[in-house]
Amino acid sequence: MCGIAGYVGPRNAVDVVFDQLKRLEYRGYDSAGLAYVDEGRLHVLKKAGKLTGLGSLLAESKPSAHTAIAHSRWATHGGPTDLNAHPHHDQDAQISVIHNGIIENYLELKSDLVSRGHTFHSETDTEVAAHVIGEEYRDGVELVEAVRRAVAKLRGAFAFVVVSSAEPGTIVCARNASPLIVGFGEGESMVASDIPALLPYTRRVAILENDMVAKVTVDAIKFYSLEGKPIEPKPFDVDWDAVAAEKGGFEHFMIKEVHEQPEVVHQCLAGRVEGDHVKLDGLFSDHVWHEIDRINIIACGTAYHAGLMGKWMFERMLQLPVDVFYSSEFRYGEPLLSPRSLAIFVSQSGETADSLAALRLCKARRIRTLGVVNVVGSSIARDCDRVLYTQAGPEISVASTKAYTAQVLVLLLLVLHIAQVREMPGVRVPEIVQDLRGFAESMRQSLDLEPQVKALAERFKDSKMVFFLGRNADAHVALEAALKLKEIAYIPTQECPAGELKHGPLALVEPGVLAVFGATDPDTQDKLLSNMKEVQARGGTVVAVTTNEASAWADEMDTVLRVASCETKALAALSTIVPLQLLAYHLANLRGCEIDQPRNLAKSVTVE
């Protein structure tokens, strides 16, 4: 999620890495910094805020060096401040580290290091990793070896880039899950989190795979396994232009973000599931969870749809009453609020004006507030009493995709947390945690449906109206699928619980109408089949999105899209959002729509 750059070679490395960071600016960030090695000394410059802040520091000091690393941060642990900005150093300030990802076991490592006299200057997990690497970097051990040994002690997703004052001309990197790419230049070498940063300098690149360490010097880039065995890098030439490269080779940010969802699941769960239970840090103390008598979830658009899934999960699993409000309605609706209630604000940007206004109202009424927010340090995150970050990384496309998945997952984690605190015997936390662990793979399987979805989009690209229907959790996913389609393909939609069809919307069904049914819930399949038949009898075409295990009736439908089966119903329903996002995307693309910036819409709506 963060931007990473590194360079070793004859040019001024500081200028190169700053330029590389600028080329990663499209990802969004909240602070930036760099480290360079000059005359056997490490120098660090860093600043919260936009890159211009770091640019001003560079303009004042005009540094020059032949080895440098740089980082633009998308905060996860600790707010966006100068101190939390990367790079971070070890106890002896001999090495500088930049990092993308989340170290899950940083708290236990930190308390061990503190007990042995280490001091820390930031709230980040990265600084802990720097100290762990620093501890291994002694007694003549090479930096690459120290990083290799340290990585074995770290749990989580990461890409590290490290330099040392004792080894000028060397950059060491390590990767597990977070992306890292090395570039082979003419008499120069470099590293970055994303290909666009490298393109002005070289088109010859290689991907550092999971569980690999690399030693990057001016004339060689060597890869090693975590056991220290040399591995032959597999360089290839990038033929994308710079714009395509920003999108990772995808045509639009939206489709890139849809494809990021398995990774987002990992990021969102990182450090939050341990063994067979859930561990959420920084929440209210346990007695508060016993005291709460009602939850109000307040949000707009996609986040509101995630809130509806939240209600469904909270009420079923915790028997806790939940209302879900559009922020704009809540604000002026004179809501009745129990003093023992909790207001949960769900927001990707954390800056949505309607939600902020609703938050102010709750604060004025002294209601407890919790943010479920993606952008660290945003207004909603700052103003709520507590915050759970969705950790989905920057979302650039106006149409929200990966943020929705992460919002639903965080709400599920919260349900499990409360179930643990309240010792609810009916909630099978270990089984659900097991399903959560397999969920990234389920999302990957959902992405495999893309060729089928594309064919469907070809067939229905001239649709005048598309229905999205379902029952239970599938009905909530249907609302989100419909929003995606209207938003980017400008096709009118009709979305409602499938049982409501016969109470009115059925009048709109005629030959040529496409009706997409979410059908993952085994308990309502018979009723759903009747609703499908109602559509078919009036000439409509039925597409069922169901699970691998769903019964044979699904074969009677015009098209069946099968997602992975899952015992946890909310997760089975959630995995259907992927083919539905893909359907919206491919229909919009075939209709020549402006996908990432649809007409009349903005990513963050900062007016009421």
Q: Minimal distance in Å, beta carbon 440 to ligand M6R? A: 22
> For residues 147 and 399, which CB has a smaller minimum distance to ligand M6R in the complex?
399
Per the listing, tokens 């290909």 go with: 195
Q: Minimal distance in Å, beta carbon 407 to ligand M6R? A: 8
Distance CA 87, CA 161 (A): 9
Other beta carbons less than 10 A from residue 139's beta carbon: 5
Q: Where are the beta strands (DSSP E) in 26-127?
A: 31-38, 41-48, 67-73, 88-89, 95-103
268 carries an active-site annotation: no
> For residues 180 and 485, which CB has a smaller minimum distance to ligand M6R in the complex?
485
Distance CA 207, CA 226 (A): 16
Q: What type of residue is 537?
A: A
CB 122 within 8 A of CB 71: no
Query: Could you give the angle at the alpha carbon of 411 between the alpha carbons of 445 and 475, nearest 5°?
Result: 65
234 carries an active-site annotation: no
The two three-digit tokens of residue 408, written as one number:
């639903």
Site residues (CB under 6 A) for ligand M6R? 300-303, 347-349, 352, 355, 398-400, 483, 487, 601, 604-605
Q: Minimal distance in Å, beta carbon 605 to ligand M6R? A: 5
CB 396 within 8 A of CB 28: yes
Distance CA 79, CA 415 (A): 25
The two three-digit tokens of residue 324, written as one number:
């879900």
Q: Minimal distance in Å, beta carbon 310 to ligand M6R? A: 14
Phi, psi values for residue 203, rounded to 5°: -110, 0
Strands of the 493-497 sheet, one edge to the other: 493-497, 466-470, 514-519, 541-547, 559-563
Q: Minimal distance in Å, beta carbon 602 to ligand M6R? A: 8
Q: Minimal distance in Å, beta carbon 471 to ligand M6R? A: 23
Closest CA to 595 of 263, 353, 247, 241: 247
Q: Which residue is nearest to ligand M6R (CB)?
A: 301
> For residues 435 and 487, which CB has a smaller minimum distance to ligand M6R in the complex?
487
> For residues 66 and 331, which CB has a smaller minimum distance to ligand M6R in the complex?
331
CB 188 within 8 A of CB 20: no
> For residues 23 and 402, which CB has a smaller minimum distance to ligand M6R in the complex?
402
Q: Minimal distance in Å, beta carbon 545 to ligand M6R? A: 19
Distance CA 480, CA 399 (A): 11
Distance CA 188, CA 386 (A): 47
The two three-digit tokens of residue 52, written as one number:
């211009």
Range list of H helices, 211-260? 242-246, 253-259
Query: Could you give the angle at the alpha carbon of 561 between the alpha carbons of 555 and 563, nearest 5°?
Result: 115
Q: What type of residue is 589?
A: N
> For residues 96 and 347, which CB has a smaller minimum distance to ligand M6R in the complex?
347
SS3 state at 559 = strand
CB 595 within 8 A of CB 589: yes
Q: Minimal distance in Å, beta carbon 302 to ligand M6R? A: 3
> For residues 398 and 544, which CB has a smaller minimum distance to ligand M6R in the complex?
398
DSSP code, position 565 = P
> For residues 6 and 301, which CB has a smaller minimum distance to ligand M6R in the complex?
301
DSSP code, position 558 = S
Catalytic residue among 153, 279, 454, 603: 603
> For residues 156 and 301, which CB has a smaller minimum distance to ligand M6R in the complex?
301
User: Which residues contact residue 389 at a Cβ distance below 8 angstroms, ignoring those fewer than 6 apart?
Assistant: 76, 373, 374, 376, 381, 410
Distance CA 278, CA 412 (A): 10
Closest CA to 330 of 369, 381, 290: 369
Strands of the 322-326 sheet, one edge to the other: 322-326, 295-299, 342-347, 368-373, 386-389
Q: Minimal distance in Å, beta carbon 606 to ligand M6R? A: 10
Q: Minimal distance in Å, beta carbon 483 to ligand M6R? A: 6
Closest CA to 161 of 213, 110, 123: 213
SS3 state at 35 = strand
> For residues 181 and 595, which CB has a smaller minimum distance to ligand M6R in the complex?
595
Pairing outcome for strands 181-184 and 220-225? unpaired
> For residues 141 and 601, which CB has a smaller minimum distance to ligand M6R in the complex?
601
Q: Minimal distance in Å, beta carbon 224 to ligand M6R? A: 42
Active-site residue set:
2, 603
